[in-house]
Amino acid sequence: WAHFARDQQVDDPESTLSLYTALLRLRREHDLGLSELTWLPGYGNEIVAFQTTGGFIVIGNAGSEPIGLPDGAEVIVASSPISDGILPPDTTVWLRA
């Protein structure tokens, strides 16, 4: 488990620590902890999708198939690489509408 230690992840931009640090910074900068959210329709049972009052969209793909992202949305942060507007399985993305 040593590779999960903070001192091993602190200088790795692809680490879980870096991902969570970026998410917490965005949450603080945009008061996302105070935002209201609206569940987005049109996604299956394996997808979590909502939009905040601050204009952020969060989509989590817990399914086994990739899904398309909304047209024109800007990727702010993702838990895995995103390419060609496709959200892979087991990946969550924060977008700006």
pLDDT tens figures, 10-19? 887 777 888 8
55 is written with which tokens? 């204009």
Residues 90, 48: Cα–Cα separation, whole Å: 11
pLDDT value, residue 47: 97
The pLDDT-based confidence of 94 (bands split at 50, 70, 90) is very high
Give me the phi and psi of 14, to 5 degrees please: -100, 5
Calculate what percentage of the chain has a pLDDT beyond 90.
55
Q: Which helix (H) or strand (E) holds 32?
A: none
Q: Kindly report the CA angle at 76 between 8 and 39, in degrees rounded to 5?
A: 115
DSSP class per residue in 38-77: EEPSS--TTEEEEEETTSEEEEEE-SSS-EEPPTTPEEEE
pLDDT tens figures, 30-61? 777 788 899 999 998 999 999 998 889 999 99
- Average pLDDT in the chain: 89
